[in-house]
Structure 1
Amino acid sequence: MKDTPRPPPNGFAGLRVLVVEDEVAIALLLEDMLMDVGIEVVGPASRLAEGRALAEQERLDVAILDVNVAGEPVYPIVDILAARGIRFIFSTGYGAGGIDPAWRDRPVLQKPFSQAELEAALAQTVAVSGP
């Protein structure tokens, strides 16, 4: 008899999370970390145009966004997500100071981040009401 995997007891199972990250190694690691807690990954998108299309067309619960995607700021995707009421987390190596002041109230994952830090940011984001 085969063991059936149990869903993680963290409340993340079934969430659809858009990942926008241009560094392949980071995108793959993030994808693995998210899948480990039962999240369905949308993307990852490595370019702004791809991320915008996914942000416009996909059913999403949350997004994790690299602030600088192949040299372009991620804010056009942020605008789409905010208009749709989809919550998001910034991922950056620059810290919160590198975030546009209009969006500094959003969770920020400082690269490199751990599984625990990712889960804490997700928990904070999922628990917040509103975009």
Structure 2
Amino acid sequence: MLHSTPSSLRGRRILVVEDDFVVADDFRCALEQDGAEVVGPVSNVAQALALLPGAPPLDAAILDINLGGLMVYPVADVLRQHGIPFVFVSGYDHEEVPDSYADVPYCEKPLDVRRCVRELLT
């Protein structure tokens, strides 16, 4: 359970975009335990983009950078346009992230779910 942020998560809608089922399910479980409504998880860019138009507003998103060889940046761009905060998660070195996303919080795999959510909410 995310003891440090339960009141911050209650009622928040958080999109999870992650192609590793185990990691996605860990996020879903942890976020739901603390009251968040998880949108997804989805495992690719197309699914994530399909969720965005017309969906109830999101409060935040957790984005795996590499989704089966496709980068998640198109989703990040849409979220940024709508002012929705997001955090990147990846097994890649942080230096691989383009400079245009230098301001985006980054969590390295293997993930510490608590740390990643703290990054998202700060």
Q: How many residues align?
A: 117
User: Contact (CA 8 Å) 1:18, 1:55: kept in 2 or not?
Assistant: no
Q: Which runs of 5+ in 2 are unaligned?
A: none
Q: Determine the structure 1 residue equivalent to 2:69.
A: 71
Q: Determine the structure 1 residue equivalent to 2:52.
A: 55
Higher relative contact order (CA 8 A, sep 6+): 2
Q: Determine the structure 2 residue equivalent to 1:3.
A: none
Report SS of the residue matched to 2:14.
strand
Q: Which runs of 5+ in 1 are unaligned?
A: 1-7, 125-131
TM-score by length of structure 1 reads 0.82
Aligned-CA RMSD value: 1.5
Q: 1:99 to 1:55 in 2, by over 3 A?
A: farther
Runs of 4+ in 1 over 3 A off after TM superposition: none
Residue 29 of structure 2: which of 29, 32, 39 is its match? 32
Identity of aligned residues (%): 38
Q: 1:84 to 1:123 in 2, by over 3 A?
A: closer
Amino acid at match of 2:88: F
Amino acid at match of 1:50: Q
User: 1:115 & 1:79 partners in 2: Cα distance?
Assistant: 23
Q: 1:120 to 1:53 in 2, by over 3 A?
A: same
User: 1:57 & 1:106 partners in 2: Cα distance?
Assistant: 25
Amino acid at match of 2:64: D
Amino acid at match of 1:120: R
Alignment of structure 1 residues 94-113 onto 2, 5 Å: 94-113=92-111
